[in-house]
Structure 1
Amino acid sequence: MLGVDKEDSIFSKEKKKRCAYRKIPSMLNQLSKHKLDKAHNSFILALDGDVDFKPEAVQKLIDKMKKNSKVGAVCGRIHPIGSGPVVWYQQFEYAVGHWLQKASEHVFGCVLCCPGAFSLFRATALMDDNVLSMYITPPSEARHFIQFEQGEDRWLCTLMLQQGWKIDYAASADAKTFAPQTFQEFFVQRRRWAPSTLANIIDLLSSWRVTTKVNDNISTLFVLYQFILLSSSLLGIGTVTLMITGSFNAVLKITMFESFVVAVIPVVVYAFICMKCSNDRQILGAGLLSTVYTLVMVIVTVGLFVNLATEQSYSPNLIFVVEILFIFVFAGIAHPKELMCLVHGLLYYLMVPSTFIILTVYYICNIHIVSWGTREKKTEEDIIDETEPGKSTNSRTPILIRCLQNLGVLALMKEVRGFIQQLLGAKFEQQTDDNKTSSSNLPPMGATSVPRKETRSQEVRQNPDAWQSKEYFGLKGKGIIKEDEIEFWQELLPVYLIPINEDKQKKRKFKKN
């Protein structure tokens, strides 16, 4: 938690207007001047456990808060770090999202989401009516799990926007965080993000009449802009499918109907896999189809050039691709420090069918899974849900999987994947379970065993306050926590921060709904 000195308080300069900035009745208007001023200049910094940032970035977030008293939250620029193709894809995706979407929201209205990885929240915004009290309300319906639990940061920001607060964006406040490095981790993460994003945007659009009256930063045109973005995202799977259909028609010289059938069959097959198979097999199927669709994108590219060479008028597909390419390149040139992110744009282009078609089918078919998949410890019930819905995992193995196992194709794919990971610089574990078993069966080197030397464990003295003596922290003296603050945290922790005991029967009911 951060605080701003009273000398720098922008609210002290507006004592006469301390209640004027609220357009609706609020509990904040019932506070005294001292408490309101103190709460208004107290900030909470939300971070991920693996985030890396500099003090200058936090200062830039605070500066945004000090410039406008209506700002309830500020987010910075997130840079995903890691190694491997999945991380490269996310680096370009994050860059384009900040270059275009967040910047557009910041100019046309205000940002709709402050990611929990690196954001600053104002205390009065959290204390306001229908924000924190609504945020801590447990889900009572099945749809609440999607909106409340799958993306808490976006849900909190939606409540703040509906209460009249502005969410700002500081593009120069940089922070680095580790992104999913494997295909499975990426899909599980987006299985949570995508439905939560849609649910919160639909909730915000459904309350647009009240929100536009309460929030000065959200206009009717901005709501229309968000509606167009929502419609475009919903039509994305059909747009990409039709784009592939046109390319099949141009390259393979088949009719448009036959091209459409060839383009739709993999989508229908994968939807059937997602509804009948376990999560691991769904990810395996997504990986295989992504590989196939990578080749399809090569065909799409060839088809675009064929249309360019044979047709006098430019085809809609070609115009669409050229426009998107121009927008991305222009945005990259406008951000020269992040220009290298454009290199990963080729991978992003090849993964368009995977992320727009396969990923959409995956999260729609698994929308009943309300667990995060990365946070909690899996129970037996969760394992059963993710292995085989309504079936045993040991029986009825798909014929394709068994054939691939018998032919040794899966083992060959693992070896090829490991070789590619080594070329890309990713960490690859060379010691498998077979190596462990074979090494354990080796005969002893000699007839007699060598006795082990017993090492004495040295007693380690622990000093939890040792960091306070380091000079680079700049601590002049040790402060003393007041008794009322100790009492505050002792009363707060058991009420709000102790994990809630899940009702398994209610959870099963929500999944069924």
Structure 2
Amino acid sequence: MEDEGDVADEKAEYGDRLGSLREESEGDGDQSTLNEEKGSLVPDTPFSHSDTRHFGPAPVRPQARRLGDKKKVLLKHGHYVRDLPVPRRLILPKRGTREMTETRYTAVTCDPDEYAKNRFTLRQVEMNRQTEMFIVITMYNEDDVLFCRTLYGVMKNIAHLCSRKNSSWGPDGWKKASAPHVVVCIVSDGRKQIHPRVMDCLVALGIIQPHAMKNMVLGQITTAHVWEYTTSFALDADRRFRYPESSFDIVPTQILFCLKEKNAKKINSHRWFFNAFAPLLQPNVCILIDVGTRPGPKSLYYLWKAFDLNSNVAGACGEIAVYKGKWWRGLLNPLVASQHYEYKMSNILDKPCESAFGYINVLPGAFSAYRYIALQNDKNGHGPLASYFKGEVLSGQNTDMFTAVYLAEDRILCFELIAKPGSEWVLRYVKSAVGETDVPETLPEFIGQRRRWLNGSFFASIYALYHVGQVLRSGHSWFRKAVLLFEFGYNLINVIFAWFAVGNFFIFFVILTSSVNDPSFNLKGVSILNTLTQYAYAGTIVACFLFSMGNRPKGARWKYRIAVVIFAVLTIWMVVCAVLCAVKALQQFNTPMYSRMVLSLLATYGSFVAASLLFMDPWHLLTSFGPYMLFSPTFINVLNIYAFCNLHDFSWGTKATTTVDTDLGVVRGILKGDTVEVEVDYDKDDVDNVYMDALHRLKVREPIPKPKPKSFAEDEEAVKDYYANVRTNVLLAWALSNSFLAVIILSGNVTSTFDGSNNYTVTKAYMLFILAFVAITSIIRFGGSMIYLIGRVFTG
């Protein structure tokens, strides 16, 4: 039995241990004093240049490497596995079990697909615990603030699960063998890429002891370093220790930390999660979170409940919300505000509508969940997971472009789930599950992010439409198949209009601005202004093509900024013209074109306002609609042009390296049976010193030097030529088709588009078609979201 003790006695003991820890730190000359009241890692008095105390890099104690000392280690199934006591200075709110007093290190020497075959195991398997929820947190080089924000949010969610008395979870839901429990898996993409202060956070939590890691074991290269520990306290985003102050403020959390030796991208991190660890734990629900995403206090429960209530739910996602900071200060950045509006409208109209149909085009990898059994492949190795990981092994001319769409592996996974042969899986959106995430705050970062999204989504949409016949072979009812086919038809129309988005926006700009040239507006000289603005618009589009073909956003910041500013100014003039036309429409409502324009605007923007009010979430209309309008031509022009011009950039992973690092040491030679001899680098005092140094670095937060970018030569020029050729073909077709559309439509009398005559020109007919299309799609989105909202009201 675990000895937890009385809560009041434990809290008193925490204070005593924090006080002694502070005295020991001061006695050793260490400047990292802990805040006795809150356990803060933040200095009581900030350092300054005028301060007489130390300022600058944290002092590091010299650690003597004991090369002569040897230790015999018993192998576990032939693998190097060590159970290491946690530092003596680590405060343990709960004691009495090895999973909290010892951390386990395993040097994995195989591919993730071979993990179970090579008899690697996990603590939960040995303890015979039933895993209900398996959470993976993927990260690359994010800093300690983002890491702690995400992990602390997850731990608060686990505490909420254990606080639900009338539930299958219960107080011991985190570990009870007969009840469902949660395991948190953290996968870091590359040992040399992880942020140093994140390593300090992991040391401070007692999860890892870096000195125990080895590069090689008995001649085999270590592919991943796996740590297993159950932590009973947390670190918040301010790097403050958070201990259990009440029964369910923080509960013990089973953490599995996988530090990959080499950088192999996020898709490989998910392969470790799904193919290495999940087959051993056999979870019911798998939840995917990116570092930087902070789930709401009850979000994980709401996601899990979607699977608990409906047995045919294969995947679900929550609302991805923009992290706005304290007092919503992040919205002062117009780029962040525009993304906030975009995210909100997607979560109010698009995601609920798709959920009502049963097929969500993409479950965001930053915050989504899947039923594990739904992901499984068939006996021949074909299925959702096989398709999900297929992109990791694709290369150049060995595949065609429509197979290369696996860059958008999350979209492919969604399609494969609902089209799985003989199954009737559906995907759901859970409005109550909110996950806040950081969005790009600078233009180059934003353009780079959307390049990946747009290219992946475009080709994934083509893939889904091309393989729509798989839906007919699924186990869905005929009614569900009809609904899904209707949704695919709707998606087809959207793909076509997305293809012509740049041309249509230019046509709309020219028609709308030219309409005020009509003498009835009594605007002298406006025709000259319109001619200048239209040439400026066309010239900026051409400039964007030239920028995108030869310049990275980070290398041409001002060029892209100037283009964004020009588009924003032109948008202001377009809005002025739209207001003038709207006023004229109210005065001459009987004019066919004016009346249709008013109805289209009411259907579009009216659906935005009505849906936001019905979902009781209208604040983005007040805070972010203006910035979104100014950035709308940037979303359509700059992002699409850069994405299509860089279609050849399919980064499936990093180049394989032939060198083997030996900086961590190696495990050599079997002595007798399953016993090996390893060098002992540190003793218990050194482990405690390393722990204190980690706390000090988290407090001082010295600047981390940025590594110099490495240039890699291309091994196979044929691969580069192949994707460059595909890029040229698609870009040529896209640019010419949009230009041809603009020339055909604008060849008529543009000025007379909104006159009172009933004579229909090509321009008038096309404008009428566009207005009708926008109105119909807005009505479909609004109707679908209302169906979702009604279902949510009645089913909870």
1:249 to 1:297, Cα distance in 2 relative to 1, 3 A: same
Deviation (angstroms), 1:346: 1.2
Please tell me whether the aligned partners of residues 285 and 372 of structure 2 are also in contact (alpha carbons under 8 angstroms).
Answer: yes
Q: Percent identity?
A: 22
- Helix, strand or coil: the match of 1:114? coil
- Structure 1 Cα separation of the partners of residues 316 and 687 of structure 2: 48
- Structure 1 Cα separation of the partners of residues 622 and 600 of structure 2: 18
- Structure 2 Cα separation of the partners of residues 286 and 319 of structure 1: 36
- Structure 2 Cα separation of the partners of residues 53 and 278 of structure 1: 33
- Helix, strand or coil: the match of 1:172? strand
Bigger relative CO (Cα 8 Å, ≥ 6 apart): 2
1:74 to 1:265, Cα distance in 2 relative to 1, 3 A: same
Residue identity matched to 1:365: C
Specify the alignment match of 1:3 in structure 2: 132
Please list the CA deviations of residues 3-35 of structure 1 after superposition, one character each: whole Å capped at 9, or x if unmatched. 1779999xxxxxxxxxxxxxxxxxxxxxxxxx9
Question: Is 1:233 the equivalent of 2:362?
Answer: no
Q: What's the TM-score once normalised by structure 2's chain length?
A: 0.42
1:53 to 1:153, Cα distance in 2 relative to 1, 3 A: same
- Helix, strand or coil: the match of 2:338? helix
Question: Is 1:250 the equivalent of 2:515?
Answer: yes
1:16-415 aligned at under 5 Å gives the runs: 39=282, 42-54=284-296, 56-82=298-324, 83=330, 84-129=333-378, 130-137=383-390, 138-139=393-394, 140-141=398-399, 143=401, 147-149=405-407, 151-163=408-420, 164=423, 165-214=425-474, 216=476, 217-218=480-481, 219-251=484-516, 252-253=526-527, 263-280=537-554, 283-310=557-584, 312=588, 313=591, 314=594, 319-371=599-651
User: Which protein has the larger Cα radius of gyration, Structure 1 or Structure 2?
Assistant: 2
- Structure 1 Cα separation of the partners of residues 357 and 505 of structure 2: 28
- Structure 1 Cα separation of the partners of residues 402 and 462 of structure 2: 13
Please tell me whether the aligned partners of residues 248 and 254 of structure 1 are also in contact (alpha carbons under 8 angstroms).
Answer: no
Deviation (angstroms), 1:188: 0.4
CA RMSD of aligned residues (A): 3.7
Please tell me whether the aligned partners of residues 317 and 369 of structure 2 are also in contact (alpha carbons under 8 angstroms).
Answer: yes
Deviation (angstroms), 1:209: 2.2
- Structure 2 Cα separation of the partners of residues 103 and 113 of structure 1: 12
- Structure 1 Cα separation of the partners of residues 509 and 486 of structure 2: 33
Deviation (angstroms), 1:215: 5.5
Please tell me whether the aligned partners of residues 246 and 256 of structure 1 are also in contact (alpha carbons under 8 angstroms).
Answer: no
Specify the alignment match of 1:410 in structure 2: none
Residue identity matched to 2:386: S
Please tell me whether the aligned partners of residues 335 and 627 of structure 2 are also in contact (alpha carbons under 8 angstroms).
Answer: no
- Structure 2 Cα separation of the partners of residues 323 and 59 of structure 1: 36
Question: Is 1:511 the equivalent of 2:723?
Answer: yes
Larger helix proportion, structure 1 or 2? 1
Please tell me whether the aligned partners of residues 271 and 362 of structure 1 are also in contact (alpha carbons under 8 angstroms).
Answer: yes
Please tell me whether the aligned partners of residues 402 and 463 of structure 2 are also in contact (alpha carbons under 8 angstroms).
Answer: no
Residue identity matched to 2:650: V
Please list the CA deviations of residues 112-139 of structure 1 after superposition, one character each: whole Å capped at 9, or x if unmatched. 2111111111111221332212322222
Deviation (angstroms), 1:54: 3.8
Count, aligned residues: 370
- Structure 2 Cα separation of the partners of residues 204 and 324 of structure 1: 27
Larger strand proportion, structure 1 or 2? 2
1:262 to 1:319, Cα distance in 2 relative to 1, 3 A: farther
Please tell me whether the aligned partners of residues 308 and 315 of structure 1 are also in contact (alpha carbons under 8 angstroms).
Answer: no
Unaligned residue ranges in structure 2 (runs of 5+): 1-129, 134-167, 169-176, 181-277, 325-329, 517-525, 658-685, 696-713, 726-796
- Structure 1 Cα separation of the partners of residues 373 and 625 of structure 2: 41
- Structure 2 Cα separation of the partners of residues 292 and 256 of structure 1: 14
Please tell me whether the aligned partners of residues 455 and 647 of structure 2 are also in contact (alpha carbons under 8 angstroms).
Answer: yes
Deviation (angstroms), 1:294: 1.1
- Structure 2 Cα separation of the partners of residues 69 and 167 of structure 1: 11
Deviation (angstroms), 1:462: 3.0
Please tell me whether the aligned partners of residues 249 and 255 of structure 1 are also in contact (alpha carbons under 8 angstroms).
Answer: no
Please tell me whether the aligned partners of residues 293 and 354 of structure 1 are also in contact (alpha carbons under 8 angstroms).
Answer: yes
Please tell me whether the aligned partners of residues 80 and 179 of structure 1 are also in contact (alpha carbons under 8 angstroms).
Answer: yes
- Structure 1 Cα separation of the partners of residues 687 and 303 of structure 2: 46
1:220 to 1:337, Cα distance in 2 relative to 1, 3 A: closer
- Helix, strand or coil: the match of 1:275? helix
Specify the alignment match of 2:689 in structure 1: 460
Q: What's the TM-score once normalised by structure 1's chain length?
A: 0.64
Please tell me whether the aligned partners of residues 109 and 222 of structure 1 are also in contact (alpha carbons under 8 angstroms).
Answer: no
Please list the CA deviations of residues 31-90 of structure 1 after superposition, one character each: whole Å capped at 9, or x if unmatched. xxxx99x95x62211110111114521111111112222221111111111422221111
- Helix, strand or coil: the match of 2:368? strand
Deviation (angstroms), 1:267: 1.4
- Helix, strand or coil: the match of 2:298? helix
1:89 to 1:262, Cα distance in 2 relative to 1, 3 A: closer
Unaligned residue ranges in structure 1 (runs of 5+): 10-34, 380-456, 467-501
Deviation (angstroms), 1:175: 1.0
Deviation (angstroms), 1:247: 3.1
Residue identity matched to 1:155: I
- Structure 1 Cα separation of the partners of residues 416 and 687 of structure 2: 54
Residue identity matched to 1:294: A
- Structure 2 Cα separation of the partners of residues 503 and 131 of structure 1: 31
Please tell me whether the aligned partners of residues 92 and 342 of structure 1 are also in contact (alpha carbons under 8 angstroms).
Answer: no
Specify the alignment match of 2:89 in structure 1: none
Deviation (angstroms), 1:507: 4.4
1:94 to 1:309, Cα distance in 2 relative to 1, 3 A: closer
- Helix, strand or coil: the match of 2:363? coil
Deviation (angstroms), 1:290: 1.4
- Structure 1 Cα separation of the partners of residues 647 and 563 of structure 2: 21
